[in-house]
Structures are given as C-alpha cells and as structure tokens.
Structure 1
Amino acid sequence: MSEQGAVVYADDSVLSASQALAERLGWPLLALQSLPAELPQTFFLCYRDACLKLLDKQTLKKGGLAVDVDPRPGEQHSYPAPKKDLLAQAIGKKTKTVVDGTTGWAQDSLALFRMGYQLTCIERSPVMAELIADGFQRLARKDWVLNRQLQTPELMVGNAIELLAGLSETPDCIYLDPMFPAKRKQTAATRKSMAILRDILGDDLDRAELFATAWQATGKRVVVKSPDYAEPLGGKPSETYQGKLLRYDVYLK
C-alpha cells in the first residue's frame, strides 16, 4: 500500500499537517494545483472540508471519504444512545468495556461509543488509522463530548492478533467485523467505502486465528459480525442476532 499512495494538499494552511502525515506514512507530498496528468498512485489523503479524506483519482478535485463521527440515519442523538438495536443486543447491556479488533471506518465503534461503552479500537492499516485518528479528534471537539468530559476511544495501530494477545486489561467483550469475500451487490455508497477498504486491506485470511486469539483475550464474550451467507467463524455460537443482510454471532465464556 505504501507505494500506491500520496498525500496531496490544496493550500499552505494545511501544509504543515500534510508534511507530517506524508512523513508518518512514507508517502510523497504533492501540491493539488500542480499534479501531473498521469499519477502512479492509486489512493490519496488530503485535508479537506475540515477533516482528513481518502481520495481516489475520481475524487481528487473534490469529495472523498472520511470517518463520519455523527450518528447514522435512524440513530438517536441522545447520550447515551438506547441499547436497542441488534449490535447492542449482541454486545450485551451489562458489558462495559469493548475492544473492536477490526475498526475499519469505525462506524460500529462510534455507535458503541455513543451507547456509552468504554471502547478501545484496533486497526492494522496505517492509512485507515490516520483517518480514524482524525475522526476521533473531531469527535473530541463535539459539544456533547466536551460538555460530558467523555474520553474518546483509544486507538491502537497494528496487527490485532498480536495486540489482542498483549492486552494489559481483559475486556468484557471483543468485537470482530472481519473482511469476508464479497458475494452480493451493495449500495453505491457502501460499494465505494467497502471497495476502497478491501483494496487497502484485502480479505482477512487470518480470520480463524483472529477469533482464536480474541477468545483467549476476552473476559466474557466475543461478538462476530458476519454477512448472512458466511459460515460462523468460531463454530456454533451461543447466540445469534439476525438482520436482513448480516448477523451477529455471540460466543459466551
């Protein structure tokens, strides 16, 4: 991935941050106004619209994908949000501490944070980790977070198998949403974000080892989010919460 990306900047106001980002990733730094017609890179990171965005060649001039820290459509804006949906039921109302071992675009992590869970996030892609960190920084500046003096989720960057095995404290729940091979058409927005995530990460071929490590590291439960066509990752689950296109398999200790 390191050879496929570049950091682009539009003006001097973001030059310093862009330089630091490019240095962390080992990517070239390019000025948006003077980009060559043919670019060897596939992906780009750019500070735009007051956030860090992931771009491809079609969205270089405008647009891009960022970690969205606001509630998803249909979610309540109150804090803590009600623990009523399938995700909350799978995580468990008595659960307090959750480790998300496969954070990705952080939408499930952020939903759990809004429900009041104490959250630690793990992401193995340095690129996605930069996007997540930017999202968490924006989250920390939200009035409802500041007013309640909430601690935003901790972000750990690296291989989840290694990091889960080395956790200093045992969480109540470890949540896994591994990348399964795609087998169905998705909406345009989902296609875009998931396609780019898949291009960056690839399928999680170490899913079984990840589950085994999570099972050893958790205190009470492991929750696996799966597409409905996928085989259960850890064998027969203790409980299953079935949605229209996905399900949550719960493994209780």
Structure 2
Amino acid sequence: MQLDSWAVFCNDALQLNASRQLAEQLVVPLLDEESVVLAPQAFFLSYRQGCLMLLDRQTLRKGGLAVDIEPRPGEQHSYPAPKKDLLAQAIGRKTRSVIDATTGWAQDSLAIFRMGYELQCIERSPLMAALISDGFQRLAQKDWMLNRQLQPPRLISGNAIQLLADLAVAPDCIYLDPMFPAKPKKSALPKKAMLILRDILGDDLDRAELFAAAWQASAKRVVVKSPDYAEPIAGKPAETHQGKLLRYDVYIK
C-alpha cells in the first residue's frame, strides 16, 4: 500500500501532539474532523480507547482495530506459557531465539514471546509497524512484564528479505506467515482484521524469495505457516503440524 493511501486522524485535542508526532514520523497527512471528510485516504491511524487504532471509512466515528496484547482464546495466561500447541511444536522445544519475519497483527509473535522464546519481529508495512509498536509499548506496562523486568520483543521495520541478509547473529528459528492468495469460493469471509491486512499488504508474491532469505539466515530451522489448501512453499518439509484450517511446515537444516 502506498503512503498516500492512509493518514493520521485526530479528533481528540488531548492526542494532538502524539498524533502530530506520528504523522511527522511516518510522513503522512494529519487530518482533523473537517479535513477527513473530503480526504482521499482509505485507512487512518488514530489514538482512541488508550491505544493506536486502524480505522477505515466505516469506523472513523466508532470502532477500529488495534494490536491485541492479550492471549487468544485457549492460550495460556501464565509466563512462560507451556510449549504444547502446534506453533510450539513447530518452533521446537530446544529452540531459544526466533525471528518473526512477517509480524502482521503480531498475534503469533505475542504467543511465541509468551512461551519464553527470545524474539525479534520484522514488519515491512510502516502502518502495521506503528500499530505493533503501540501494542508492544502497552505490553511493556503489563504487571506481569514489570514484575519480571521483561522487555517486549524488538521490532524492526523494513523488508525482511534485505534485513535477514544483514543479521549479525543467526537465530535458531525464523518464522514466516506469508500472505497467500485467498481460496476461491470461500464458505465464510475472513475476519475483518485479515481482510484489512490483505488490503494493506496484498499477497506476498515474493514469498519464495522470502523463504530463501530465511533459509540462508537461520541457524537451525524455518517454520512456514500456511493455509491448508496451499502447496508447501519450498518442497516437502521435514515436519508438518496440521491444524483444522492451517498447518506449520518445518524445514530443518
């Protein structure tokens, strides 16, 4: 998505300074109640409800999407969470360091972090990176983080293919969740967060190059999250951990 497709929207005087700084940082327009009406942008970043939220035209007045820092239904609230689910099995019990090279809404990143892995995150969309950064700042203020003197994952904004080539230290595992083309004749629409993410990022047409960069940069393994209908990204994996609608393909060095 081009930078001119989105802007920062502020309708709260208390958030004006923070909104102005964000717009300057991202080099996008700052819009108010009057200017947003005729603005051409389709998406907006706005501070509301104590966090940075992503809005579209339907949610300008109410609602919006933010990075959810709480465990998803079924996930453990303890820290470190038990390494029992499919994601943990794919990443590996002996793995220590992980890079999530396609962070998106950071839900898998946060699950990996809560399991106690050393985690770095990469996100190529400046818009999504701003949302993730806000989420990680909120995460840093949680009691369980403060009590354990934990720091949130490091977030790097940029093209993972280039960034992985310049790593100083190879991580044990690189995790990829590329955007695959949508399955034709879907029986149900994806959640709005995923629909908007697809609008923002589009399909990852360079996912083969991304896998090659990850394979070169990883010390031990690359894990690829795929929808169940997609072909393996790099031939037959060493392991596959199958869920109802998705799977984790594991390529081991």
Tell me if both proteins adopt one fold, taking TM over 0.5 as the criterion. yes
Aligned residue pairs, count: 251
In structure 1, the partner of 2:224 is: 224
Residue by residue over 1:142-186, the C-alpha shift from the partner in whole angstroms, topping out at 9 and shown as x without a partner, is: 000010011210001100000011111110000000000011637
1:10 aligns with 2:20: no
Separation in 1, partners of 2:122, 2:114: 18
Amino acid at match of 1:127: L
Amino acid at match of 1:153: P
1:51 aligns with 2:51: yes
Q: Which runs of 5+ in 2 are unaligned?
A: none
Cα separation, partners in 2 of 1:10 and 1:210, compared to 1, 3 Å: same
Separation in 2, partners of 1:15, 1:187: 39
Separation in 2, partners of 1:62, 1:5: 18
Cα separation, partners in 2 of 1:36 and 1:46, compared to 1, 3 Å: closer
What RMSD in Å do the two structures reach over aligned CA positions?
A: 1.2
Amino acid at match of 1:5: W
1:181 aligns with 2:155: no
Separation in 2, partners of 1:12, 1:126: 24
1:75 CA drift (Å): 1.1
Amino acid at match of 2:67: V
Equivalences for 1:66-145 in 2 at 5 Å?
Answer: 66-145=66-145
In structure 1, the partner of 2:149 is: 149
Separation in 1, partners of 2:87, 2:188: 21
DSSP 3-state at the match of 2:54: strand
Residue by residue over 1:103-161, the C-alpha shift from the partner in whole angstroms, topping out at 9 and shown as x without a partner, is: 00000000000100110000000000000000000000000001001121000110000
In structure 2, the partner of 1:26 is: 27
1:212 CA drift (Å): 0.7
DSSP 3-state at the match of 2:68: coil
Separation in 2, partners of 1:36, 1:125: 22
Amino acid at match of 2:13: D
Cα separation, partners in 2 of 1:36 and 1:109, compared to 1, 3 Å: closer
Amino acid at match of 1:137: Q
Separation in 1, partners of 2:7, 2:55: 10
Separation in 1, partners of 2:200, 2:112: 24
Separation in 2, partners of 1:186, 1:124: 30
Separation in 1, partners of 2:151, 2:36: 43
Separation in 2, partners of 1:200, 1:113: 25
In structure 1, the partner of 2:210 is: 210
